[in-house]
Chain A
Amino acid sequence: MFLYAYLLFTNMLVYHYSIIDWPFKYVKRNIIKAMQSILESFKMAINLMLDLNPLLLEIVGLSLGVSLTAVLLASVCGFFAGALLALCSFPGRQAILVILNAFMGLPPVAVGLTVYLLLSRAGPLGDWGLLFTPGAMIFAQWILVTPLIAALSRQVIEDLNVEYRELLWSLGANRLGMLLTLLWEGRLSLTTVMLAGFGRAVAEVGAVLIVGGNIVHHTRVMTTSIVLETAKGNLSQALALGIILIVIACLINAVISISKNYAERASA
C-alpha cells in the first residue's frame, strides 16, 4: 500500500521534473514500470495464496513432497558417508574429498539427463517404469543433494571429532560408537546442512523438468510451472509462483530455526 503510494508519488515527480532531469526520465520511467509489474506479481502471489487454489496446493505439495523425500534419503546416505570420511583415513581419501567438493556444484540438467538415460525404456533401469513419475524426480534430486550433504557433514563431524576424540577414546568407544555419538552431537549443525540440501533440491528445475516431464496433476512442481508460465508469456504469474516458492522456503527455514533455538535452550 505504502509502496504503491510511493510509486505514484515518484511517478508524479518524474513527470513534473521531466524537463529538468530529462536524461534520467527514461530510466526512471522504466524502473517504475518494472516495479509496477513486480508489484502486480506480489498482488497475484497473495491472491493465489489466499484463494488456496487447488492446483497450486497440489503443485506446492508435490514440490515439498519430492524435495523433502530426496533430502531425507540424501541425508541418510550423506551423513554416514560424511562421517566415515571424517573419521577414517584410507588411501584415495583426498581424491574422494576433491570429487565430493566438486560434485556439490553438479549441474542439475546434466544429472537430469543422466537419470533420464538410466530410467528410459531404452536404458538399463527402463523396466522399473519410473520415468515421468515423482519417483524419478526424487531419484534425480537425491543424486544432486547427496554430495552436498556428505561434503558439508564431513566438515561438521571433523570439527567435532577434534573436540571429542580424546574423551571418546578414553571412554572406550569403538569406531561405530564414535560415529553415532558424533552424528548425534552434531545434529543441530546437521539440520542446517539438510536445509542447504533442501534449498538446492526445491529450487532446481533442470533435472525435474527432464525426468518428470512437467505433467499436470502428476509431476508438475513449482519450478517447472514457472518455466511453463514464462513460456506462455505470463510473466507476472510466473513471478508470483516464484514469490510463493520463496515464501515457503522462508517458512520452512523459520520453523527449523525456531525449533533449533528451542532445542539448544533445552540442551543447555
Chain B
Amino acid sequence: MNNIHKIRMFLGALFLCLMIPVCAAQQFITLASTTSTQASGFFDYYLPIFQNKTGVEVRVVAVGTGQALKLGENGDADVLLVHDKVGELKFIEEGFGVDRREVMFNDFVLIGPEADPAKITGLKDAVGAFQRIAESKSEFVSRGDDSGTHRLELRLWKEANIDPHGDGVTWYKEAGAGMGAVLNMLAAGGNAYTISDRATWIAFENRKGLALLDEGDPRLFNQYALILVNPEKHPHVKKEQALMFMDWMTSPEGQKAIGEFKLRDQVLFTPNAGANQ
C-alpha cells in the first residue's frame, strides 16, 4: 500500500511539473525563423523586451528558411521571419501568407582559411570570388539545406556560370546542415570556403584558422522580412497577437532595439522597416 501511495505521489508531482509550462503563458505566438537569428543570440535579447511590454510570449522555432516557409504553409506557425525574397513572394502569391514587411538587413560574407589559396581576399565581388574558388579547385562547403543562405549561394553559382553539381566537380561538398555546423566543419577541415550570414559569423566561437575574406558585394545584401501566415487558410492563427508583434517590430521603438543589439562591438542587424516598400 505504501509503495502504491509513493508511486501515486511521484506521478502526481510529475504531472504537475509538466503542467507548469503549459499554464504559465496563456498568450503566445509561434514564430518560425532562421537559424541565424537564433544562433546569434538575437532572440534571447529581443523577445523579452516585447514580452515585458505586451505580455505576449513569442515562441521561436529556428529552422532554415525553406523549412520555415513549409511550417507556415502547414499552419504550424503564426508569423515567419525569413530571408529569401524570391521564396517569400512565391509563398504569398500561393496564398499561404499575407502582409510581408521588411524589417532589417545585414549581409553575407565569404569565409575561408586565413592562407586563402584561392586569393579572394578583398575582391568585393562575390561572383568573381566564386569563379576563383572554382578555378583553383579549392574546397567549398555548401549548406545544401534549402535555407535562405543556400538559395542565395546557388544563385551566385548560376551567375558565375559554374555548375557545382556538374560532372567531375570534386571540390564542392554539400553538408545538408545549419550555418554553425558548416562553420564547424570548416574549422575542423582546414582549407575550405563557405558563404555565411554576418550575424552567425560574428557570434561564432570556434573560429580556428578561419577568416572573413570577402564582403561588400551588393549581391550579398540580406533582407529579413516578417510574414503573417494567412489566417483565412488557417483560422487558428493568432492574428491579433501576431499583428501586435509585427507592428511592434516595425515601430520606431522595435526598430531602435534591433539596432542596439551588438556582439563583439558590431551591429548584427540594421533596421530598415518601410525603407523600400
**Assuming A233-B204, A234-B205, is B60 touching A216 (CB within 8 A)?**
yes
Closest approach, in angstroms, between the C-beta of A68 and any C-beta of chain B? Answer: 6
Q: Which residues of A contact B62 (CB under 8 A)?
A: 214
Query: Is residue A62 contacting chain B, with contact meaning CB distance below 8 A?
Result: yes
Q: Which residues of B contact A62 (CB under 8 A)?
A: 21
**Assuming A69-B14, A232-B204, is B178 touching A121 (CB within 8 A)?**
no
- CB-contacts of A51-69 with B (<8 A): 61-62, 65-66, 68-69
Chain B at the A interface: SS class: helix
Whether the pair B61, A132 counts as a contact (CB closer than 8 A) is: yes
Whole-angstrom CA separation of A72 from B41 in the bound complex: 36
Whole-angstrom CA separation of A120 from B62 in the bound complex: 16
Q: Name B43's closest neighbour in chain A (CB-CB).
A: A216
Closest approach, in angstroms, between the C-beta of A61 and any C-beta of chain B? Answer: 7
Whether the pair B14, A230 counts as a contact (CB closer than 8 A) is: no
**Assuming A65-B14, A121-B76, A231-B35, is B181 touching A214 (CB within 8 A)?**
no
Of the residues B18, B39, B61, contact of A228 by C-beta under 8 Å: B39
**Assuming A129-B236, A131-B76, is B205 touching A61 (CB within 8 A)?**
no
Whether the pair A132, B206 counts as a contact (CB closer than 8 A) is: no
Whole-angstrom CA separation of A69 from B234 in the bound complex: 31
**Assuming A121-B236, A230-B181, A233-B187, is B18 touching A134 (CB within 8 A)?**
yes
Whether the pair B76, A72 counts as a contact (CB closer than 8 A) is: no
Q: Which residues of B contact A215 (CB under 8 A)?
A: 59-61
Q: Name B177's closest neighbour in chain A (CB-CB).
A: A231
Q: How many residues of B contact A (CB 8 A)?
A: 35
Q: Which residues of A contact B118 (CB under 8 A)?
A: none
Whether the pair B180, A232 counts as a contact (CB closer than 8 A) is: yes
Q: Which residues of A contact B86 (CB under 8 A)?
A: none
- CB-contacts of A90-146 with B (<8 A): 120-123, 126, 129, 131-135, 138
**Assuming A62-B21, A65-B18, A121-B74, is B59 touching A214 (CB within 8 A)?**
no
Contact indicator per residue, chain B 10-21, by CB within 8 Å of chain A (1) or not (0): 010010011001
**Assuming A215-B61, A216-B44, A231-B179, is B21 touching A121 (CB within 8 A)?**
no
Query: Is residue A245 contacting chain B, with contact meaning CB distance below 8 A?
Result: no
Whole-angstrom CA separation of A66 from B14 in the bound complex: 9
Query: Is residue A203 contacting chain B, with contact meaning CB distance below 8 A?
Result: no
Whole-angstrom CA separation of A135 from B22 in the bound complex: 9
**Assuming A214-B61, A215-B60, is B74 touching A233 (CB within 8 A)?**
no
Query: Is residue A217 contacting chain B, with contact meaning CB distance below 8 A?
Result: yes
Q: Name B203's closest neighbour in chain A (CB-CB).
A: A232
Whole-angstrom CA separation of A68 from B13 in the bound complex: 12
Closest approach, in angstroms, between the C-beta of B231 and any C-beta of chain A? Answer: 12
Whether the pair B21, A231 counts as a contact (CB closer than 8 A) is: no
Whether the pair B75, A126 counts as a contact (CB closer than 8 A) is: yes
Closest approach, in angstroms, between the C-beta of A18 and any C-beta of chain B? Answer: 22
The interface of chain A, by Cβ under 8 A from chain B, is 61-62, 65-66, 68-69, 72, 120-123, 126, 129, 131-135, 138, 213-218, 228, 230-235
Nearest 7 A/B pairs, CB to CB? A231-B180, A233-B206, A121-B75, A213-B61, A122-B74, A233-B205, A233-B204
24 contacts between A and B (CB under 8 A): A61-B17, A69-B14, A72-B11, A121-B75, A122-B73, A122-B74, A123-B74, A126-B75, A129-B236, A133-B22, A213-B60, A215-B61, A216-B43, A217-B21, A218-B21, A232-B39, A232-B204, A232-B205, A233-B187, A233-B204, A233-B205, A234-B206, A235-B184, A235-B206
